[in-house]
Structure 1
Amino acid sequence: MPKIIILNVGTAHALGDRESSTHPITRSGWRHAWFADQGDILISPVSVDDDFLQYLGGVLGFEPATVTVLSRERIITDDLLLCDELHADLLQLIGRDPLPWQLLPCFWTPGVAELASRLGIGPRDGLNFAAQHGSDLLNRKTHFRQLAAGAGIPLPEGSVVRTSKELADAVERHLPRTGTVIVKQDDGAGGLGNLTLTTGEAAPLPGSRESRQVGEDIPALAAEVWEALADELSHGLVVESYHTSTHQFYLEYSIEEGGIPAFLDSGGIRVRRDDNPASTEFIWVGLDLPAPLPPALAARAMQDAQRLASLIGQIGYRGHLNIDAIATDDAGLVFNEVNARWGGGLVAHSICERLIGMGYADHYVASTVRDMPPTALSTVLEILDAQGLAFSRSSREGVVVLACDPLLINNMECLVVADTRERARQIEGQLRTALATVTWDSDAPEFAGSGA
Structure 2
Amino acid sequence: MTTLCIGNNRTEEMVGDLTGMTPLERAFAGCGAQRMLWFAEDGDVLVLPWEPEPAYLAYVTGLTGTRAESLTVVVPPAGPDGEDILTPDRLADPGFRGELRRALAGRPVRRVLAISPNAAVVDLAAAVGAEDAVPGHAFAAQGGNALVNSKAVFRALAAGAGVPVSPGTVATSPQQVEAAVNGLLEQGHSVMVKVEYQAGGFGNEVLTRAEQVAPAGAQRAVELADAGAVAAYVAERWQWLTGGRNQRVVVERYFADAVPLYAEFSIGDGGSVLSGCGEMVMDPVVVGEITPPVTPDAGVRAELVDQAARLCESLRVLGYRGTVSADAFLTPKGELYFSETNGRLTGSTHLHDALFARLVGAGHRADRVILELAGLHVPSFPEAVAAVERAGLAFDPRTRTGVVFSADFGPADGSVMYCVIAEDAAAARAAESRLLALFAR
TM-score, with structure 2 as normaliser:
0.91
1:261 equivalent in alignment to 2:272: yes
Measured against aligned partners, the alpha-carbon deviations of 1:62-118 in whole angstroms (never above 9, x if no partner) come to: 22111122224341122222221121111111123x614310001111111122222
Measured against aligned partners, the alpha-carbon deviations of 1:195-224 in whole angstroms (never above 9, x if no partner) come to: 111014344310111111112213223322
1:17 deviation in Å? Answer: 6.1
1:238 equivalent in alignment to 2:250: yes
Moved over 6 A (4+): none
Match for residue 299 of structure 2? 296
SS, match of residue 302 in structure 1: helix
For 2:47 and 2:104, the matched residues in 1 are separated by: 13
Residue pair 2:43, 2:72 contacting (<8 A) in 1 also? yes
Unaligned runs of 5+ in 1: 273-281, 438-452
1:15 deviation in Å? Answer: 4.4
Match for residue 58 of structure 1? 62
Match for residue 121 of structure 1? 130
Pairing partner for 2:236 from 224, 232, 257: 224
For 1:249 and 1:338, the matched residues in 2 are separated by: 12
SS, match of residue 288 in structure 1: strand
- The verdict on how the C-alpha distance between 1:206 and 1:19 changes in structure 2, with shifts beyond 3 A counting, is closer
Measured against aligned partners, the alpha-carbon deviations of 1:328-373 in whole angstroms (never above 9, x if no partner) come to: 1111110001111112111122222101212543111111111211
Pairing partner for 1:197 from 198, 207, 214: 207
Pairing partner for 1:329 from 332, 335, 341: 332
1:317 deviation in Å? Answer: 0.5
Unaligned runs of 5+ in 2: 78-82
For 2:187 and 2:27, the matched residues in 1 are separated by: 38
For 1:375 and 1:269, the matched residues in 2 are separated by: 27
Residue pair 1:19, 1:74 contacting (<8 A) in 2 also? no
Measured against aligned partners, the alpha-carbon deviations of 1:90-147 in whole angstroms (never above 9, x if no partner) come to: 1111123x61431000111111112222222253552111010011011111111111
Match for residue 345 of structure 2? 342
1:422 deviation in Å? Answer: 0.8
| Higher relative contact order (Cα pairs below 8 Å, separated by 6+ residues) | 2
Measured against aligned partners, the alpha-carbon deviations of 1:261-288 in whole angstroms (never above 9, x if no partner) come to: 111011110124xxxxxxxxx2643111
For 1:214 and 1:429, the matched residues in 2 are separated by: 40
1:18 deviation in Å? Answer: 7.2
For 1:100 and 1:221, the matched residues in 2 are separated by: 51
**Residue identity (%):** 29
Query: What number of residue pairs does the alignment pair up?
Result: 426
1:109 equivalent in alignment to 2:113: no
Match for residue 286 of structure 1? 288
1:40 equivalent in alignment to 2:49: no
Pairing partner for 1:381 from 382, 385, 408: 385
Residue pair 1:170, 1:239 contacting (<8 A) in 2 also? yes
Match for residue 309 of structure 1? 312
Match for residue 132 of structure 1? 142
1:157 equivalent in alignment to 2:167: yes
For 1:81 and 1:313, the matched residues in 2 are separated by: 27
1:95 equivalent in alignment to 2:105: yes
Residue pair 1:287, 1:368 contacting (<8 A) in 2 also? yes
**What letter matches 1:286 in structure 2?**
G
